[in-house]
């Protein structure tokens, strides 16, 4: 389906009643207070201090100081009409060594945050893990080590015991593909290891940690609590219709998507993934009972989407550049399919170099809805980085970001019309923040942050998104400029 097949672009699109309008953040990217109240280093603290790993040596030590400014940020969310806020808990802040009892000062921060959200009518959506493993657990082996999955389940139980009376929506992992394959495969994310077998082991133990955490959460939480995981599923397209390019899609789909969907939703790893990686490992780290533990009932599935991925077979004698949008490295994050070539689609790009293509989100939602009928979906991340400028009057106009979000919300609405049960949309990100290996050089926020003064300034996108959230209606793009002018 294309835009021309959908409702006329002049039409107003109304989202279903109860649709969640949210924004998302992650602990290390916004909190700061890296050494306060008992918090100890995570792998991202260590990685950011390693010369050459993060742009200009930036760290999350201060970030956007959300730890001290969360009241201001919650008021900002309320002003923007958000009905939900997706945030992550810092494992190092709650359980500094990854073992033993929780630090109450760490839990108290999240108690205060959640209470403030609820007081403003904003539903908290909690993510347990957004890439910030306590460094002590990495020193003991990290995610390639089975014990980390067991420690994760214990940590989940601690957080549930503290916040289960306040939080109704729980997410185990955010983008485990990035944790496993950028962290342990290509090394462009923390902890910076470059071992394809370790990456595959990490993937399995992330799956196992997810399943064990779901069990721990269900044991500690009321029956009404909603369980989820957020996956950055890759919308894959072959460069040509040639069989070898179609097979390249299959290979990347196996190690990018079905390595999670298979065990989490179907209770099995795909056979073609095991064949593609047989020269690397025999997968003996998968023990009897693991797949049953991983295959836990989910109430929703979170999908993170930014851009489609175009792949082709590598041709003998020709270089196969890994232009996959996941950072420069001599090591591949695609174990077993290192020779697949990646190609950037034509057209407009964001500051990350990613193609702007909302049809990829539509296609992805319809695929997941078709393969897993009856499973409600959430868009848990979607957004774009662009170069923002502060005008002389202090305002920040970001028409390209606004158009990006508008186009993707249209795609979500079309998917709902065509049968996908999408329950909400979380804009990435609420605030400009520490963008991992890019440091503070890339801005995804709907709200501009002056990193010197920590002043928050809602951008045009934020004002427009507030109107959409309050009305539940998406007006045609030609009406957006008027809406923004009225709101600013």
Tokens of 201: 């082991």
381 catalytic, yes or no? yes
31 catalytic, yes or no? no
Catalytic residue among 31, 138, 175, 235: 175
Instruction: Identify the CA nearest to 109 among candidates 163, 29, 42.
Output: 163
Name residues whose C-beta falls within 8 Å of residue 328's C-beta, 6 or more positions apart in sequence. 188
**Cis ω for the linkage preceding 191 (within 30 of 0):** yes
Distance CA 167, CA 114 (A): 8
State how far the alpha carbon of 387 is from the alpha carbons of 133, 384, 461, in Å. Answer: 31, 10, 14
Catalytic residue among 31, 235, 381, 410: 381
Distance CA 75, CA 457 (A): 13
Instruction: Identify the CA nearest to 305 among candidates 218, 234, 226, 397.
Output: 234
Write out the catalytic residue numbers: 175, 381
């Amino acid at each position: 389906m294309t835009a021309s097949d959908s409702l006329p672009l002049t039409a107003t699109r109304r989202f279903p009643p109860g649709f969640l309008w949210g924004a998302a953040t992650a602990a290390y990217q916004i909190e700061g207070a890296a050494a306060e109240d008992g918090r100890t280093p995570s792998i991202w603290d260590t990685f950011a201090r390693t010369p050459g790993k993060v742009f200009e040596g930036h760290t999350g030590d201060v970030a956007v100081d959300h730890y001290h400014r969360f009241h201001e940020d919650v008021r900002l969310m309320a002003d923007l009409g958000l009905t939900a806020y997706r945030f992550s808990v810092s494992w190092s802040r709650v359980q500094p060594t990854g073992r033993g009892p929780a630090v109450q000062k760490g839990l108290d921060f999240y108690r205060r945050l959640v209470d403030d959200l609820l007081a403003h009518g904003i539903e908290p959506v909690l993510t347990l893990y957004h890439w910030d493993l306590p460094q002590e657990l990495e020193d003991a082996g990290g995610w390639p080590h089975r014990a980390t999955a067991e420690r994760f389940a214990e940590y989940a139980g601690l957080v549930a015991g503290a916040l289960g009376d306040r939080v109704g929506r729980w997410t185990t992992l955010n983008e485990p593909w990035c944790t496993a394959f950028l962290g342990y495969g290509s090394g462009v994310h923390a902890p910076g290891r470059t071992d394809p077998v370790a990456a595959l082991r990490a993937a399995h133990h992330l799956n196992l940690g997810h399943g064990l955490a779901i069990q721990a959460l269900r044991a500690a939480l009321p029956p009404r609590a909603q369980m989820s995981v957020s996956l950055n599923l890759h919308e894959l397209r072959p460069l040509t219709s040639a069989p070898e390019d179609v097979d390249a899609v299959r290979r990347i789909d196996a190690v990018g998507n079905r390595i999670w969907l298979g065990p989490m939703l179907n209770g099995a790893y795909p056979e073609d993934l095991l064949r593609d990686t047989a020269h690397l490992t025999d997968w003996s780290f998968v023990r009897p009972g693991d797949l049953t533990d991983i295959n836990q009932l989910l109430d929703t599935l979170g999908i993170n989407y930014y851009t489609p991925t175009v792949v082709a077979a590598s041709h003998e004698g020709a270089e196969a550049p890994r232009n996959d949008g996941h950072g420069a490295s001599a090591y591949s994050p695609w174990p077993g399919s290192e020779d697949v070539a990646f190609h950037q689609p034509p057209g407009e790009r964001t500051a990350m170099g990613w193609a702007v293509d909302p049809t990829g989100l539509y296609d992805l939602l319809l695929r997941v809805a078709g393969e897993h009928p009856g499973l409600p979906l959430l868009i848990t991340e979607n957004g774009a980085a662009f170069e923002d400028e502060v005008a002389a009057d202090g305002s920040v106009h970001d028409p390209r970001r606004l158009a990006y979000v508008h186009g993707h919300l249209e795609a979500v609405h079309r998917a709902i019309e065509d049968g996908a049960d999408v329950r909400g949309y979380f804009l990435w990100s609420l605030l400009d923040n520490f963008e991992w290996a890019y440091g503070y050089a890339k801005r995804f926020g709907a709200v501009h942050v002056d990193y010197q003064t920590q002043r928050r300034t809602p951008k045009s996108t934020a004002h427009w998104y507030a109107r959409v959230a309050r009305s539940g209606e998406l007006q045609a793009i030609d009406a957006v400029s008027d809406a923004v002018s009225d709101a600013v």
